[in-house]
C-alpha cells in the first residue's frame, strides 16, 4: 500500500507540511508506505488545453509534471494538501490537478467525433483513495476543500471520509504553528486511519 501526499504550499515545511506529515506518520504506523512531494520547488504550468495528450497518451508539456504524475499513478491513495489563498487551493496544486485529470482521462479514452457521445471507460485515477487537506489562518477552507473533492469525484476516485473535515487552523501573521491546532492534528491522524482502512477494503477480493 502506497499513500502519496502532495503539498501544494509554496512555503517549504509550512503548516500544510505539518498537517500532512501528521497523517503520513500515522499511516506508516499502520503499515503503509508513504511518499511526499512538495510542489514549491517544482516547475509546473497549468493545462493549456492543447489536446496533445490524446495522441501521445501523456502530457506533452515539458516541465516537472511527468515524474509527479508517474508517482500519482503508482499510488493507492492520495492526500492532496493546500493552504487557502483567497478561498481556493494554490496555483501550484491547481496546475497539477488540472493536468493530471486531463491527461489521465485521455490516456485511456479515444477522442469522439463531433456527433458522437462520450462513454468514458475509466481513467488513470480510477479507484484511487483520495482525500483533501486544507489549511487556513481562520476561514476559507470550505471552497478549497470542495475543489479537491470535485476533482476526485470526476476522476473516478474513491473519496475517503472522516469524523470531521480535514481542515487545519494555523498561520496567523504567517506563523508556522500547526502543532497548536491539537484538534486538527488529531483529525489528520484519523484521516490516515480511514485511508488505510479504505485502501485495504478496495484491495479486498471478498
> What is the residue-averaged pLDDT of the chain?
94
Contact 194/161 with Cβ under 8 angstroms?
yes
Give pLDDT, residue 78. 98
CB atoms inside a 10 Å sphere around CB 25: 13
Contact 132/16 with Cβ under 8 angstroms?
no
Give pLDDT, residue 206. 42
Give pLDDT, residue 204. 58
Who contacts 67 (Cβ-Cβ below 8 Å, separation ≥6)? none
What domains does the chain contain, in order, with CATH numbers? 2-203 (3.40.50.360)
SS3 label, residue 166: coil
Whether the model clears a pTM of 0.85, i.e. scores above it, the answer is yes
Who contacts 122 (Cβ-Cβ below 8 Å, separation ≥6)? 108, 156
Element (H, E) at 186: helix 182-203
Q: What is the pLDDT of residues 9-26, one digit of tens each?
A: 999 999 999 999 999 999
Strand partners, 205: none
Nearest to 168 by CA among 17, 2, 6: 17
Q: What is the pLDDT of residues 95-129, one digit of tens each?
A: 999 999 999 988 887 776 666 666 667 899 999 99
Q: Read out DSSP for 94-163?
A: HHHHHHHHHHHHHTSSPPPPTTS-------TTTT-EEEEEEEESSS-HHHHHHHHHHHHHHTTPEEP--S
Positions of the chain with pLDDT under 70: 112-120, 204-206
Give pLDDT, residue 147. 98
Amino acid at each position: 500500500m502506497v499513500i502519496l501526499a502532495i503539498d501544494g504550499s509554496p512555503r517549504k515545511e509550512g503548516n500544510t507540511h505539518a498537517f500532512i506529515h501528521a497523517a503520513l506518520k500515522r499511516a506508516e504506523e499502520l503499515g503503509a508506505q508513504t511518499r511526499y512531494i512538495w510542489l514549491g520547488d517544482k516547475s509546473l504550468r497549468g493545462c493549456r488545453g492543447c489536446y496533445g495528450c490524446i495522441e501521445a497518451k501523456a502530457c506533452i508539456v515539458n516541465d516537472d509534471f511527468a515524474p509527479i504524475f508517474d508517482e500519482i499513478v503508482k499510488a493507492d491513495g492520495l492526500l492532496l494538501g493546500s493552504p487557502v489563498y483567497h478561498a481556493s487551493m494554490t496555483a501550484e496544486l491547481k496546475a497539477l490537478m488540472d493536468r493530471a485529470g486531463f491527461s489521465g482521462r485521455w490516456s485511456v479514452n479515444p477522442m469522439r467525433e463531433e456527433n458522437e457521445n462520450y462513454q468514458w471507460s475509466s481513467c488513470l485515477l480510477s479507484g484511487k483513495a483520495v482525500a483533501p487537506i486544507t489549511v487556513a489562518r481562520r476561514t476559507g477552507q470550505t471552497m478549497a476543500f470542495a475543489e479537491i473533492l470535485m476533482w476526485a469525484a470526476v476522476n473516478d476516485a474513491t473519496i475517503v471520509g472522516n469524523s470531521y473535515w480535514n481542515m487545519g487552523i494555523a498561520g496567523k501573521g504567517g506563523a508556522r504553528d500547526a502543532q497548536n491546532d491539537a484538534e486538527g492534528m488529531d483529525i489528520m491522524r484519523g484521516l490516515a486511519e480511514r485511508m488505510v482502512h479504505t485502501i485495504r477494503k478496495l484491495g479486498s477480493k471478498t
